[in-house]
Amino acid sequence: MTKKKINFKPTRDWILLPDPRKTKTESGIILDETTANKLVTNVLEVLAVGPDTKNVKKGDTVMIDPAVAGMIIEVEEVSYVLVSEFHCLGIM
């Protein structure tokens, strides 16, 4: 499967991540809220970084502080999460 180019470049130290919230599986099964919440992860692949990020780069797999609610944005009808590099606990 070819990854689609994302037409969004974060500013400052913002990190763009895939939206970990799932409402259905890849095979199309719709998930109830309880099941969907159990599938949310805080380990995600970095899709884009702002120019002021110091330790994280595009393609890294990072662990984000689970207590942080990232900013949900939509770009071309796809949901993503923006977090500050400060909320990145480490690189896997």
Q: From CA 56, how far away is CA 88, in angstroms rounded?
A: 8
pLDDT at position 2: 43
CATH numbers and ranges of domains, the chain: 14-91 (2.30.33.40)
CB 84 within 8 A of CB 14: yes
- pLDDT level of residue 1 (50, 70, 90 thresholds): very low
How many residues belong to the chain? Answer: 92
Q: How far apart are CA 15 and CA 46, in angstroms?
A: 7
The mean pLDDT value for 31-35 works out to 73
Question: Would you say 39 and 31 are in contact if contact means Cβ atoms under 8 Å apart?
Answer: yes
**Structure tokens, 75:** 């770009």
pTM of the full structure: 0.81
Phi and psi dihedrals of 11, rounded to 5? -100, 170
- Determine the average pLDDT of the residues in 48-63: 96
> Average pLDDT in the 38-62 region?
91
